[in-house]
Chain A
Amino acid sequence: MERKIVPIIPAVEIEQHLYEKRQKIYPREVHGIFAKLRIAAVVTLLGLYYGVAWLQWSGRQAVLFDLPARKFYVFGQTFWPQDFFYLTLLLIFAALALFFFTTLAGRLWCGYACPQTVWTETFLWIERLVEGSRSQQIRLDKAKGSRNTIVRKTIKHALWIIFSLWTGFTFVGYFTPIRELGLDVLALSVTGWSLFWILFYSFATYGNAGWMREQVCLHMCPYARFQSSMFDKNTLIISYDVARGEPRGKLKAKAASPTSTGDCIDCTLCVQVCPTGIDIRQGLQYECIGCAACIDACDEVMEKTKKPKGLIRYTTENALEGNPARLLRPRVIIYATVLLALLTVLIYSITQRKLVDIDVIRDRNALYRELDDGTIENTYTLKILNKTEQPQRFKLTATGLDELILQSDDEIIEVDSGSVKNLVVRLQIHYEQVPATSNQVEFHIASESDPDLRTLEPARFLAPQMDN
């Protein structure tokens, strides 16, 4: 979609439709170092996405987010909803990483790693496979209704849909065991929500990568719009070297007067390869997803015209203006430091994660209970979580007040692997021993087999005011 600048025509009032049909973009195939990098990224990321779902880890699926059971298996670790904190850390880490890389080298994420790019790239590849090159595609679209068009379009959409279905299936495979799901699919017995989500994600893939494409980046993606606020004059951006390229002119014109023209031969290849349909020679634009396809295209032309490469290149505003460029700037260093610190915290906290947890819920109806022998009693429901892979027998103690007695109807506290035990306990103390109306106490729990497996949780012990 070319940027339409409303022409500067005074007062000729022409009624026009203010909404515009999308102009389909036919990105030309491109070869070169950055195209290779992107293909490598696409293959790696999609390989991980489609492959990891099938990995096994000690008898179960390696990565499985079991929502009904609220267990999230990531290789050797099992996360519970109580561990959601780590997801927060991970997301903050991801956001900061985005800031860091954007400050350093612009929209690297958009150009090489964003799912929208990765899947669109794959869909473009399928499109080229079936419909041929850019010019062949344009011709095919012009010949609407011809047999060739219909056959090729049908094949293309069929391949897209198959690929989308596989994508949707894999996605659901991360939430319900993929091997069983696969058997269900083969037996055509997938029903209910599994089927819905498979179709939903298939449709989303097909729609986004097949039809929406660059419109997602232009009109929907919030990151696309705020990433430019992280740019500064030392950020690596993809830019056309105006000083070197202008005035542009066709080869013939150059031959006529070699000194009066720049290196740009106005072949428009940089425009043809652009997946968002912009002309990079107009400068940095919000539509640019930083895919570097124009660099590859231009370098090839420069090679043919025997000019130095890099008329379009990764460069900085400072470099273009002839100022010294600095890679290490305060904000880069700060982002890097925070990123590193966060990564350390994340890894450390996961390795130090408590595999046993205890939640204390005080009875709500009565603050305390006075027994007839003068004992004050508080009732608590304890939830004891065993996140280990083995069943555990726990020892429960309560501290915080002298002469505190712990009573429970259950003699043995045994919690199965990966489950929660509800335990009702009572704390008792004679009223003469209670120091205050509200007292801090602590419940301690420790595994009998593994003394390192222990934790504690504070609670309050309430008593009546003793005035006589």
Chain B
Amino acid sequence: MIDTMSNFWHWFVIIPTVLGLIGCYWLLKANSTGVAADQEAAEDHVWDEDLREYNNPLPKWWYNLFVITIVFGAIYLALYPGLGNFKGLLNWSQLSQYNEEVASAEAGYGPLYEKYSSTKLTELATDPEALKTGKRLFSTYCTTCHGSDARGAKGFPNLHDGEWLYGGEPETIKATVIGGRAGVMPAWGAVMDDDMLKAVVEYVQSLHTNEGDAEKLALGKEKYGLFCVACHGPDGAGNKALGAPDLTNNIWLYGGSDRVLLETLKLGRNGKMPAHGDFLGEDKVHLLAAYVYSLSQQP
């Protein structure tokens, strides 16, 4: 944001504004008296046979309204920022007003969240009042990605299914909301050719289906042992410390069809859960975490 303007623009605003104000007053004053128009001018303006325009004096209070408007303008320019870099006597700005309003909202609503902040998450997850507030927070901050029913979307985890990338303990959920997460699946397209990739897909699918083409499975298993095992583990159970998904169940973040799995393997994935700690504050996150935890406790 540019807070100040250069000297030239500063005066470029001030001079015409002030001159304009004075000019308005001069114009008003100069035209308030004069010679009443003669009959000839009035004769020119005739409509519908006999409708004539005459010069009738305007009401005096109308004139006064103009004066009041000019005075109002002058007072406004003195109080509020309007003349170049001049900040105004009230020292008002949009930012200061925003900060004031946020502060007053915090003062008003803060205690509502604060009263829950010392209650344990597992306890909060059974408190209907706390969950109501949590649900509202969720609707405001989380539904954009996780959906209004918290069942996620492609790339955004379902929070109902009890399957967690980083762990589903209440405190872990809270840590996830506060700090955010970045889940990186590297792209293997440069390392393996399509046949190898398809073999790995066959192998990964077999982890929950227990079936597949033996030849492909052998190649897939070999490549898996080389490239995938570091994160997803020798048995495919994943690693919650890294956020590497469990491959042994039929729950997929980006989709579980052969085609999508091939895409994931070849091009990699970049999952991002933004950090909400600074933005929402500890107290709100506490309630949110309790609500999210409660979701995983019901089917």
| Residues of A participating in the B interface, judged by any CB pair closer than 8 Å | 3-6, 8-11, 13-22, 215, 219, 363-366, 369-370, 372, 377, 379, 381, 409, 424-426, 468
Interface of A is mostly: loop
Bound CA span A9–B156, Å: 87
Instruction: Contacts A18-B33, A19-B57, A424-B149 known; list 14 others, CB within 8 Å.
Output: A6-B37, A6-B39, A6-B56, A10-B38, A15-B34, A17-B33, A20-B57, A219-B59, A365-B153, A365-B156, A372-B252, A379-B151, A426-B151, A468-B259
Whether A20 lies near B60 (C-beta < 8 A) is: yes
> What residues of chain A lie closer than 8 Å to B34, measured between beta carbons?
15-16, 18
Bound CA span A219–B60, Å: 12
Bound CA span A16–B54, Å: 16
> What residues of chain A lie closer than 8 Å to B59, measured between beta carbons?
19-20, 22, 215, 219
Whether A20 lies near B33 (C-beta < 8 A) is: no
Given contacts A18-B33, A18-B34, A19-B32, contact A363 B148 (CB under 8 A): yes
Given contacts A17-B33, A219-B59, A369-B153, contact A11 B38 (CB under 8 A): yes
Given contacts A3-B56, A21-B60, contact A365 B154 (CB under 8 A): no
> What residues of chain B lie closer than 8 Å to A4, measured between beta carbons?
56-57
Bound CA span A5–B144, Å: 70
The residue of chain A having its C-beta at the shortest distance from the C-beta of B145 within the complex is A365
Given contacts A363-B147, A370-B255, A372-B251, contact A15 B33 (CB under 8 A): yes
- List the 8 shortest-distance A-B pairs measured between CB atoms, nearest first: A366-B153, A20-B57, A19-B63, A8-B39, A21-B60, A424-B149, A13-B35, A19-B60
Given contacts A4-B56, A8-B39, contact A17 B147 (CB under 8 A): no
> What residues of chain B lie closer than 8 Å to A377, measured between beta carbons?
151
Bound CA span A372–B261, Å: 13
Q: Can you name 9 A-B pairs with beta carbons within 8 Å? A: A3-B56, A5-B56, A6-B37, A9-B38, A10-B38, A363-B147, A366-B153, A381-B148, A468-B259
> What residues of chain B lie closer than 8 Å to A219, measured between beta carbons?
59, 62
Please tell me if B256 contacts chain A, counting CB pairs below 8 Å. Answer: yes
- Quick one: which of B24-42 are within 8 Å of A by CB? 31-39, 42
Whether A369 lies near B147 (C-beta < 8 A) is: yes
Min CB gap A217→B, angstroms: 13
> What residues of chain A lie closer than 8 Å to B252, measured between beta carbons?
372
Whether A6 lies near B36 (C-beta < 8 A) is: yes
> What residues of chain B lie closer than 8 Å to A215, measured between beta carbons?
59, 61
Given contacts A6-B42, A372-B256, contact A16 B151 (CB under 8 A): no
Q: What count of chain B residues pass the 8 Å CB interface test?
A: 38
Whether A379 lies near B33 (C-beta < 8 A) is: no
Whether A19 lies near B147 (C-beta < 8 A) is: no
Please tell me if B250 contacts chain A, counting CB pairs below 8 Å. Answer: yes
Pick the contact of B144: A365, A369, A381 (CB < 8 A): A365
Pick the contact of B152: A6, A369, A381 (CB < 8 A): A369
Whether A379 lies near B61 (C-beta < 8 A) is: no
How many residue-residue contacts, CB under 8 A, span A and B? 97
Please tell me if B143 contacts chain A, counting CB pairs below 8 Å. Answer: yes
Whether A15 lies near B35 (C-beta < 8 A) is: yes
Please tell me if B226 contacts chain A, counting CB pairs below 8 Å. Answer: no
Please tell me if B19 contacts chain A, counting CB pairs below 8 Å. Answer: no
Binary per-residue interface labels of chain B (231-253) against chain A in the complex, 1 for a CB within 8 Å, 0 otherwise: 00000000000000000001110
Bound CA span A11–B39, Å: 10
Please tell me if B1 contacts chain A, counting CB pairs below 8 Å. Answer: no
Whether B62 lies near A19 (C-beta < 8 A) is: yes
Bound CA span A10–B35, Å: 11
> What residues of chain B lie closer than 8 Å to A10, measured between beta carbons?
38-39
Q: Counting chain A CB atoms within 10 Å of each CB, which of B39, B57, B250, B255 scores highest?
A: B57
Min CB gap B245→A, angstroms: 13
The residue of chain A having its C-beta at the shortest distance from the C-beta of B298 within the complex is A409
The residue of chain B having its C-beta at the shortest distance from the C-beta of A425 within the complex is B149
Bound CA span A323–B31, Å: 48
Min CB gap A49→B, angstroms: 28
Min CB gap A457→B, angstroms: 17
- Quick one: which of B203-226 are within 8 Å of A by CB? none
Whether B143 lies near A363 (C-beta < 8 A) is: yes
> What residues of chain A lie closer than 8 Å to B156, measured between beta carbons?
365-366
Min CB gap B259→A, angstroms: 8
Please tell me if B55 contacts chain A, counting CB pairs below 8 Å. Answer: yes
> What residues of chain B lie closer than 8 Å to A21, measured between beta carbons?
60
Given contacts A369-B152, A424-B149, contact A20 B36 (CB under 8 A): no
> What residues of chain A lie closer than 8 Å to B147, measured between beta carbons?
363, 365-366, 369, 379
Min CB gap B274→A, angstroms: 14
Pick the contact of A379: B54, B149, B256 (CB < 8 A): B149
> What residues of chain A lie closer than 8 Å to B63, measured between beta carbons?
19
> What residues of chain B lie closer than 8 Å to A14, measured between beta carbons?
35-36
- Quick one: which of B1-45 are within 8 Å of A by CB? 31-39, 42
Min CB gap B100→A, angstroms: 18
Min CB gap A410→B, angstroms: 11
> What residues of chain A lie closer than 8 Å to B190, measured between beta carbons?
none
> What residues of chain A lie closer than 8 Å to B145, measured between beta carbons?
365
Whether B149 lies near A409 (C-beta < 8 A) is: yes
Please tell me if B58 contacts chain A, counting CB pairs below 8 Å. Answer: yes
> What residues of chain A lie closer than 8 Å to B35, measured between beta carbons?
13-16
> What residues of chain B lie closer than 8 Å to A11, measured between beta carbons?
38
> What residues of chain A lie closer than 8 Å to B56, measured between beta carbons?
3-6
Whether B38 lies near A426 (C-beta < 8 A) is: no
Bound CA span A20–B32, Å: 10
> What residues of chain A lie closer than 8 Å to B37, measured between beta carbons?
6
Min CB gap A210→B, angstroms: 14
> What residues of chain B lie closer than 8 Å to A5, measured between beta carbons?
54, 56
> What residues of chain A lie closer than 8 Å to B259, measured between beta carbons?
468
> What residues of chain B lie closer than 8 Å to A6, measured between beta carbons?
36-37, 39, 42, 54-56
Min CB gap A359→B, angstroms: 14
> What residues of chain A lie closer than 8 Å to B152, measured between beta carbons?
369
Bound CA span A8–B39, Å: 6
Min CB gap A263→B, angstroms: 26
The residue of chain A having its C-beta at the shortest distance from the C-beta of B160 within the complex is A409
Min CB gap B106→A, angstroms: 22
> What residues of chain B lie closer than 8 Å to A468, measured between beta carbons?
259
> What residues of chain A lie closer than 8 Å to B256, measured between beta carbons?
372
Bound CA span A363–B250, Å: 25
Whether A18 lies near B42 (C-beta < 8 A) is: no
Bound CA span A22–B58, Å: 9
> What residues of chain A lie closer than 8 Å to B36, measured between beta carbons?
6, 14, 16, 18
Given contacts A15-B35, A370-B154, contact A20 B58 (CB under 8 A): yes
The residue of chain A having its C-beta at the shortest distance from the C-beta of B135 within the complex is A422
Pick the contact of A22: B61, B250, B298 (CB < 8 A): B61
Q: Counting chain A CB atoms within 10 Å of each CB, which of B38, B58, B149, B250 scores highest?
A: B149
